Amino acid sequence: MLDLHRLRVFRAVVASGSVNAAAANLGYTSSAVSQQVTALQRETGLVLLARSGRGIEPTSIGLALAEQIDGALSRFGDVEAFVADLRNGRTGSLSMAYFPSVGAAWLPAVARALLRRYPDVRLDLELRDDFTAGSAKRAAFSPVKGGDGVVGRGVDIQLLVAPPDFAGTRDTRAHHLLDDPYVVVVPPEHPLAGADAVELARLAGERWIDNDFARGWCRENLIDACRAAGFSPPFRIEAHDYPTALAFVEAGIGITVLPRLGTASLPGGLVAVPVTAPAVCRSIYAVVQTSVEATPPAQCVLEELRRCARAATA
């Protein structure tokens, strides 16, 4: 394999017209430049320079090689610049997985902040329904099932719900963003609409509308809290997402209980009332691959996610 440094030295000799001039331009000794050119001729098996009077000049082969070196050095310079851009977050891509309620509430602001600061970065987004990590009934972390099977695999940053002590996996680090309390959503004419809070047991006689297609930790967390309050939620309608469940509430069909973040845009004057006794809460994390955690784009995303989380609790 040709030595790039020797190619650069030889190109300097051709451009400068002499070994001494090349040495002065490069900050080397003449002897060091001569040694590099001699070594290049030896490894290529070509005569690149020939004596001319008291000096030297490139041979036709040397001139042809110098022309090729020009193109190679230019392309290598482009590669070096590209690497520098990657290091400083000026190009490349960042991939994120998210679940629906944070997608609508946070990702537009995240994308705006990222692309404003790093306009050449491509943001790849993936909606994952299997957004929980672990179980309310387990003390240890349990990887997400479904898809690729492991939290964080295949994406740089994954937003997910996990138990309060979740710390990440071997190749990821978990950044806690928000403890998101649950609320009951009722029509404005409902007797609970003016309450500051409602004990969970008071909802036992209501007509419940389910809202969690994934049947994940968020739903399990709510059902466990209801059991602790002495009842099982009497689901009469099973919707598959928050907007549909809220539309049923707006139609006067029943009530739904969901994390507060899912109520960012309540339709039709609906009212969200905090749930207590027991209070129900989910913990939201940004799980980041350690290989990209220190890069400027990833840091920008984490900064904006924290800002969104702070705004959600204001």
Same domain, 79 and 101: no
Identify the domain containing residue 271 by its residue range.
180-281
8 A C-beta contact, residue 121 and residue 92: yes
**Rg of the chain over CA atoms, in angstroms?**
32
User: What whole-number distance in Å separates Cα of residue 298 and Cα of residue 300?
Assistant: 5
Of 209, 218, 211, 220, the closest CA to residue 186 belongs to 209
The sign of the torsion formed by the CA atoms of 159, 164, 169, 174 equals: positive
Domain co-membership, 161 together with 189: no
pLDDT at 243: 92
Tokens 């000026």 locate to 90
Residue 173, by phi and psi: left (phi above 0), alpha (psi -120 to 50) or beta?
beta
Q: Is the pLDDT of residue 158 over 80?
A: yes
| 3-class SS of residue 220 | helix
User: Do 58 and 203 belong to one domain?
Assistant: no
DSSP E strands in 153-262: the ranges are 157-162, 172-186, 198-199, 208-210, 235-238, 256-259
The residue from 67, 87, 107 where one domain ends is: 87
Please tell me whether residues 129 and 254 are part of one structural domain.
no
Please state the pTM of the whole predicted model: 0.67
Give the residues across from 238 on adjacent strands: 210
Domain check: are 34 and 101 in the same one?
Answer: no
| Domain final residue pick, 33, 61, 87 | 87
pLDDT of residue 45: 93
Strands 49-52 and 55-58: antiparallel
Mark whether 81 and 222 lie in a shared domain: no
Assess whether 110 and 170 both reside in one domain.
yes
Three-class SS state of 206: coil
Distances (CA, A) of 70 to 17, 39, 247: 16, 19, 66
Domain boundary (87, 122, 138) is at 87
Say yes or no: 232 and 297 in one domain: no
Q: For residue 22, give both structure tokens.
A: 């090349």
Residues 197 and 273 in one domain: yes
Site of tokens 């969901």:
258
**72/105 same-domain check:** no
What is the band of 133 on the pLDDT scale with cuts at 50, 70, 90?
low
Task: Answer whether residue 214 shows pLDDT above 80.
Answer: no
* Same domain membership, residue 204 and residue 227: yes
Tell me what the mean pLDDT of segment 171-196 comes to.
Answer: 95
Regarding whether 75 and 201 lie in a shared domain, the answer is no
SS3 content of the chain, % helix, strand, coil (to 5): 40, 25, 35
Q: Which of 224, 243, 231 is nearest to 282 (CA)?
A: 224
Question: Three-state SS for 244?
Answer: helix
What is the pLDDT at residue 131? 53
Q: For position 72, which CATH number holds?
A: 1.10.10.10
Number of domains into which the chain is organized: 3
Q: Which residue in 158, 136, 132 sits closest to 146, CA to CA?
A: 132
Q: Can you give the CATH number for the domain in which 130 is found?
A: 3.40.190.10
pLDDT of residue 137: 33
Q: Is the pLDDT of residue 10 over 90?
A: yes
For residue 180, give the nearest of 277, 256, 99, 258 by alpha carbon. Answer: 258
